[in-house]
């Protein structure tokens, strides 16, 4: 029987609803712990509380703490790890772990959209699915997986698409890599490229801005002036910006700050197509880095990790 560690970090999956006021808040005691033995048929399961934080309170420091606990779990002989996490920033923690962990045991992140005592609570169902995935031999070397609503997604491309729907986690463009049945997971896709970087601290400042019609360069200048180490911009379309932003972006590049473009569009990838003032072709020629399929929040995590790992600016474009 597989030995599985469940690391609780907080979030809705560990919260309860006050039926009088409707407020959902963290509990001193994680409600999931009350049903600790009901999944013993899946594996030899140990449960540990690492944090008890709503996911908007999760920072890169907690992400690093989760990574270090997983590395210790590997040394302790666990065959798989499940991390329960709040859904608001779940995709960022999952991608951070994907980029910074070089282990072959299954690492699965899950959460819930409804608290433990709400009607239709999905926490235990998602935990069961996550444990099934973590205990499966088929999940070895699959990278970090996000398992919600009986679907398995890669940490690299999954995103939260709805504020309240239990089917919120989706992978735009590519779809899930697997489906979770009663006692098994079936994979029908795989992540072709996996990359891992050695990160042991969090010291860099990387910011994320979203483009809009009529945008000027003021916010971009402000990011540079406060000493940012990197900037990600959710650009328009395939990678374009209003013309008034051009001087500010150029100043960032001239200062040595890496600037990464993703698209603010929900589907598709950035491309250096348009050759006009503010067009992606010119930005790319000036040194802006274009991504392939990453969201703004994922690109920020990747740039942060690459800079923490000491990757030189000249190599960043190839790694994106």
CA 91 vs CA 38, 45, 306: distances in Å? 27, 24, 18
Q: Which residues contact 20 (CB under 8 A, 6 or more apart)?
A: none
User: Half-sphere exposure (CA, 13 Å, Cβ side) for 114?
Assistant: 13
Q: Catalytic residue at 87?
A: yes
The answer to whether the beta carbons of residues 115 and 15 sit under 8 Å apart is yes
Cα(169)–Cα(151) distance, integer angstroms: 9
The active-site residue out of 12, 110, 154, 245 is 12
CB 88, CB 55: distance < 8 Å = yes
Residues 120, 126, 128: CA angle, nearest 5 degrees: 115
The active-site residue, picked from 84, 87, 89, 171, is 87
Distance of CA 218 to the CA centre of its chain: 29
12 is catalytic: yes
CB-count exposure of residue 311 (10 Å: 0-12, 13-18, 19+)? middle
CB 113 within 8 A of CB 209: no
Under 8 Å between Cβ of 238 and 274: yes
Q: Which positions are annotated as active-site residues?
A: 12, 87
């Amino acid at each position: 029987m597989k030995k599985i560690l469940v690391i609780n970090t907080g979030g809705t999956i560990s919260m309860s609803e006050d039926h009088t006021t409707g407020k959902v808040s963290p509990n001193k005691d994680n409600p999931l712990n009350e049903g600790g033995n009901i999944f013993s048929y899946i594996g030899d399961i140990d449960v540990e509380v690492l944090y008890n934080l709503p996911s908007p309170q999760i920072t890169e420091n907690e992400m690093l703490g989760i990574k270090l606990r997983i590395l210790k779990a590997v040394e302790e002989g666990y065959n798989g790890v499940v991390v329960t996490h709040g859904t608001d920033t779940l995709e960022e923690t999952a991608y951070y772990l994907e980029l910074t962990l070089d282990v072959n045991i299954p690492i699965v992140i899950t959460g819930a959209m409804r608290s433990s005592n709400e009607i239709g609570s999905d926490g235990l169902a998602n935990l069961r699915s996550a444990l099934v995935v973590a205990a499966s031999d088929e999940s070895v070397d699959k990278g970090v997986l996000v398992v919600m609503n009986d679907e398995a997604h890669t940490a690299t491309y999954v995103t939260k698409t709805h504020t309240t729907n239990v089917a919120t986690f989706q992978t735009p463009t590519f779809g899930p890599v697997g489906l979770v049945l009663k006692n098994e997971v079936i994979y029908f896709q795989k992540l072709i490229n996996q990359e891992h970087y050695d990160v042991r601290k969090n010291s860099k400042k990387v910011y994320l801005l979203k483009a809009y019609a009529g945008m000027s360069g003021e916010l971009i200048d402000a990011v540079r002036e406060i000493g940012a180490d990197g900037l990600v911009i959710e650009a328009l379309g395939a990678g374009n910006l209003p013309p008034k932003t051009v001087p500010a972006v150029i100043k960032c590049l001239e200062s040595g700050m890496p600037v990464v473009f993703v698209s603010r569009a929900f589907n598709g990838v950035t491309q250096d197509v348009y050759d006009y003032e503010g067009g992606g072709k010119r930005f790319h020629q000036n040194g802006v880095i274009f991504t392939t399929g990453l969201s703004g929040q994922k690109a920020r995590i990747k740039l942060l990790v690459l800079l923490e790992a000491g990757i030189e600016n000249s190599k960043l474009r190839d790694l994106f």
